[in-house]
Amino acid sequence: MTEVIRRPLDVVAGYACDPSNAPAWYAKISEVDWKTPPPLRVGSQVAFVARFLGRDLRYTYEIVEHSHNSLVMRTAEGPFPMETSYRFDPKPDGDTRMTLRNRGNPSGFSRLVAPFMRTAMRRAVRKDLTALKHQLERDRLNG
């Protein structure tokens, strides 16, 4: 999913790539626990608790790529292998195009409901990106 946010790349990426901010814009994430000390870098591990499809999911992401315009995290522990990536592209007008992508391979019971999970994940990602956009653009107007 992609969203254009009317803020500079460094603001959008700086906020979105700080796991401590995740509960403010990811509707499903309720807890964040740094397993390695901040700041975020390749090799960092961060644990999350998310409520999805009526269940609490606990998983730990390891940062596998981090630069000024991208972030890639993969599960080090969790119910199934998953990868989340962020990409930030500057637009000529100073805005930022952010792309958020989740990929995973459900197993066990999760595999049976995978088609439903994909639809629910797409809907959740769309809502989360919209929430991030509104929050950062509101901050621009208030700050």
6-24 pLDDT per residue, tens: 999 999 999 999 999 999 9
Beta bridge partners of 102: 84
- pLDDT for 27 equals 93
| pLDDT score of 83 | 94
The pLDDT assigned to 16 comes to 97
Quick one: tokens of 8?
A: 């500079």
Length of the chain: 143
Question: How far is C-alpha 31 from the chain's CA centre?
Answer: 13
Confidence label for 79 from pLDDT (cuts 50, 70 and 90): confident
Q: Which one, of 66, 64, 58, lies nearest residue 17 by Cα?
A: 66
Between CA 82 and CA 99 the distance in angstroms is 17
pTM of the model: 0.88
Q: What is the pLDDT of residue 81?
A: 86
| Fold classified for 2-142 | Alpha-D-Glucose-1,6-Bisphosphate; Chain A, domain 4 (3.30.530)
Chain centroid to Cα 126, Å, comes to 11
Query: Do residues 83 and 72 lie in contact, with contact meaning Cβ atoms separated by under 8 Å?
Result: yes
Q: Is beta strand 2-5 parallel, antiparallel or unpaired with respect to 70-77?
A: unpaired
DSSP state at residue 37: P
CA pair distance 123, 134, nearest whole angstrom: 17
* Structural tokens at position 102: 């989740």
